[in-house]
């Protein structure tokens, strides 16, 4: 079983719910810092305060582009990315143009992702496919377009659609990209067992809101094993 530190280093602690207050965001940032998660994924308006709050913690501030529907123009997504990078965002999770992907317009999808990757200026871009709306063929096409465009990860979901990460989707996505592209599971990853199952299938990053519960559960299991 992995250590608490190893699992924390795979979690993007998610603070994306629209109703979160500033106090709730600050509490979430404190959680990410306490557990040394890979990153914290915040709403665009929270990037600057999150960067200031987490400076020196080692926790990367990530954020979202075209979220949650993906239907913004390429120009809008590029400008949003550039602004957020200038504010200190270290990772970008962008929502693919879901409708264009369903249309079979892989060329447009690839070009848009590539434009966001360029605007991110070397920072990892994770492409959210929103699998709940896609056929397996469309998921594979989205993964291929993401890799060709230079994305660092393909990601299952925003967490705001009807469905989230599934074992079947993680296995499919892992098969659909080369080893240089990671797979991020998001949407419904609320327990340690769910995380470990998806990790075994190839996911290496996880969007989670229940970070404390997941990591505390792991700590208890490890302590019980050592008794």
Q: Quote the Cα angle for 200-191-203, to 5°.
A: 30
Instruction: Verify whether residue 46 is a known catalytic residue.
Output: no
User: For residue 67, which phi and psi values (nearest 5 degrees)?
Assistant: -100, 140
Q: Which of 77, 126, 139, 184 is catalytic?
A: 184
Q: Which of 12, 97, 155, 169 is catalytic?
A: 155
Q: Cα 217 vs. chain centroid, distance in angstroms?
A: 22
Gap between the Cα atoms of 66 and 78, Å rounded: 10
Q: Specify whether the backbone of 89 is left (phi greater than 0), alpha (psi in -120 to 50) or beta.
A: beta
Instruction: Verify whether residue 126 is a known catalytic residue.
Output: no
Contact 36, 3 (CB under 8 A): no
Q: Which of 93, 126, 139, 169 is catalytic?
A: 93
Instruction: Verify whether residue 139 is a known catalytic residue.
Output: no
Gap between the Cα atoms of 202 and 179, Å rounded: 10
Tokens standing for residue 125: 């871009």
Residue positions annotated with a catalytic role: 93, 155, 184
């Amino acid at each position: 079983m992995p250590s608490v530190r190893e699992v924390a280093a795979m979690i993007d602690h998610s603070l994306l719910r629209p109703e979160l207050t500033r106090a709730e965001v600050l509490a979430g940032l404190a959680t990410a810092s306490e557990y040394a998660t890979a990153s914290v994924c915040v709403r665009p308006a929270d990037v600057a305060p999150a960067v200031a709050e987490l400076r020196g913690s080692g926790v990367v501030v990530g954020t979202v582009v075209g979220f949650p529907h993906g239907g913004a123009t390429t120009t809008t997504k590029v400008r949003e990315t550039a602004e957020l990078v200038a504010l200190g965002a270290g990772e970008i999770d962008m929502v693919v143009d879901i409708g264009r992907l369903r249309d079979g317009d892989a060329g447009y999808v690839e070009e848009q992702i590539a434009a966001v990757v360029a605007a991110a200026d070397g920072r990892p871009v994770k492409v959210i496919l929103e699998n709940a709306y896609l056929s397996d063929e469309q998921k594979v096409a989205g993964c291929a377009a993401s890799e060709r465009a230079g994305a660092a990860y393909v990601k299952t979901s925003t967490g705001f659609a009807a469905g989230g990460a599934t074992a079947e989707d993680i296995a499919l996505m892992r098969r659909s990209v080369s080893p240089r592209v990671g797979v991020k599971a998001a949407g419904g990853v609320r327990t340690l067992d769910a995380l470990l199952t998806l990790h075994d299938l190839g996911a290496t990053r996880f969007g989670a809101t229940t970070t404390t519960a997941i990591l505390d559960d792991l700590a208890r299991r490890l302590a019980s094993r050592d008794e």
